[in-house]
């Protein structure tokens, strides 16, 4: 029997140059306030290899935000416009990027492509990069690097300094079989739902979607995923990879969160894998959004040229 040919698509993406020792890296806080100690530790780790910069204004708290909308917007836009900056690393996720998403200078990013690094609420920033076809890195924020996990730190450096070196994740959980190839897209399910509601979600055709979340009840995950499916977000998806659902309990209904995603994703008719160490867990394997990836059986390979 002839093996099934992989679902494939043709796409183009602007790839920022790999990081190199001595490059300028700026830490910004476009979302929520953060643990200062963790972020300083993360910056200390990065400064062992790069020239790390930060605007002290990001340490000022404004309610549940890391400063006013104007401060956070101006800080990020200044970093995007800097032609000599190699990477922008979020201090933390939390909440708040959506309030400034519409005023981000995407033209500056297109003129001066650089790695945008972060996850959780920073998924919305990755969505903005995808809208203009610029690759970005779903990976630990500065606070996550500050927790000191040696494996996570090494993976972060390797991914940013060699973003196009293929990496494979074997023996993932096979939910729905098949082969597929396309650009990586996605991140935090709640933020993807929020971006769609704001009319800002524009996944590349034939994308392999990544999904993760934290502290959400199963029924809330069902509601968001159903809305995305019914709204057509997955119409051109080639496959899905489910990461970690950290502290996403069954709630009062007793339905496991993973069971909910497995049922809903089964309606798409595309390959689906689960168990990817990506999300709010300790490791949070870096994922190069916009670069090619392939699903083959229980294996996911990322960073394809």
Mean pLDDT over residues 228-247, rounded? 98
Residue 269 neighbours by CB under 8 Å, 6+ apart: none
Across the chain, mean pLDDT equals: 95
Active site residue 244: no
Query: Which residue out of 212, 216, 244, 303 is catalytically annotated?
Result: 212
Reported as a single tens digit per residue, the pLDDT across 52-108 is: 999 999 999 999 999 999 999 999 999 999 999 999 999 999 999 999 999 999 999
Mean pLDDT over residues 33-49, rounded? 98
Asked if residue 207 has pLDDT above 50, the reply is yes
Mean pLDDT over residues 37-61, rounded? 97
Active site residue 263: no
Torsion angle, CA of 201/204/210/212, rounded to 10 degrees? -10
Mean pLDDT over residues 113-125, rounded? 99
Residue 101 token pair: 């998403």
Mean pLDDT over residues 242-248, rounded? 97
The whole model's pTM is what?
0.95
pLDDT of residue 4: 52
pLDDT of residue 9: 56
pLDDT of residue 12: 86
pLDDT of residue 193: 99
Confidence of residue 251 (pLDDT cuts 50, 70, 90): confident
Domains of the chain in start order, with CATH, are 24-161 (3.40.50.10740), 167-304 (3.50.30.60)
Reported as a single tens digit per residue, the pLDDT across 126-155 is: 999 999 999 999 999 999 999 989 999 999
Confidence of residue 8 (pLDDT cuts 50, 70, 90): low
Query: Which residue out of 31, 75, 86, 120 is catalytically annotated?
Result: 120
Asked if residue 223 has pLDDT above 90, the reply is yes
Residues 209, 239 contacting (CB under 8 angstroms): yes
Residue 260 token pair: 């909910």
Q: Are strands 115-118 and 292-296 parallel, antiparallel or unpaired?
A: unpaired
Asked if residue 3 has pLDDT above 50, the reply is no
Mean pLDDT over residues 231-245, rounded? 98
Query: Which residue out of 136, 181, 280, 303 is catalytically annotated?
Result: 280
Asked if residue 264 has pLDDT above 90, the reply is yes
Mean pLDDT over residues 238-265, rounded? 94
Active site residue 280: yes
């Amino acid at each position: 029997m002839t093996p099934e040919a992989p679902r494939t698509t043709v796409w183009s993406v602007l790839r920022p140059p790999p990081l190199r020792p001595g490059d300028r890296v700026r830490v910004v806080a476009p979302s929520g306030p953060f643990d200062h100690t963790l972020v300083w530790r993360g910056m200390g780790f990065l400064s062992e290899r790069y020239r790390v910069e930060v605007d002290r204004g990001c340490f000022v708290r404004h309610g549940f935000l890391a400063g006013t909308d104007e401060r956070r917007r101006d800080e990020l836009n200044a970093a995007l416009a800097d032609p000599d900056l190699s990477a922008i690393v979020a201090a933390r996720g939390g909440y708040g990027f959506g309030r400034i998403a519409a005023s981000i200078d995407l033209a500056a990013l297109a003129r001066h492509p650089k790695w945008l690094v972060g996850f959780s609420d920073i998924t919305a920033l990755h969505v903005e990069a995808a809208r203009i076809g610029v690759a970005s890195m779903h990976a630990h924020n500065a606070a996550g690097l500050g927790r000191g996990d040696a494996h996570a730190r090494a993976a972060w450096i390797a991914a940013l300094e060699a973003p196009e070196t293929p990496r494979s994740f074997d023996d993932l959980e096979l939910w729905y079989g098949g082969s597929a190839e396309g650009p990586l897209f996605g991140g935090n399910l709640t933020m993807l739902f929020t971006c769609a509601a704001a009319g800002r979600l524009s996944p590349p055709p034939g994308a392999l979607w990544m999904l993760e979340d934290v502290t959400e009840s199963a029924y809330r995950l069902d509601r968001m995923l159903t809305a995305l499916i019914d709204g057509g977000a997955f119409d051109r998806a080639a496959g899905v990879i489910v990461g970690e659902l950290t502290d996403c309990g069954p709630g009062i209904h007793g339905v496991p969160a993973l069971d909910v995603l497995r049922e809903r994703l089964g309606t798409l008719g595309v390959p689906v894998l689960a168990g990817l160490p990506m999300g709010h867990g300790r490791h949070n394997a870096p994922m190069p959004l916009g670069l090619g990836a392939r699903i083959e059986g229980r294996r996911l390979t990322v960073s394809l040229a």
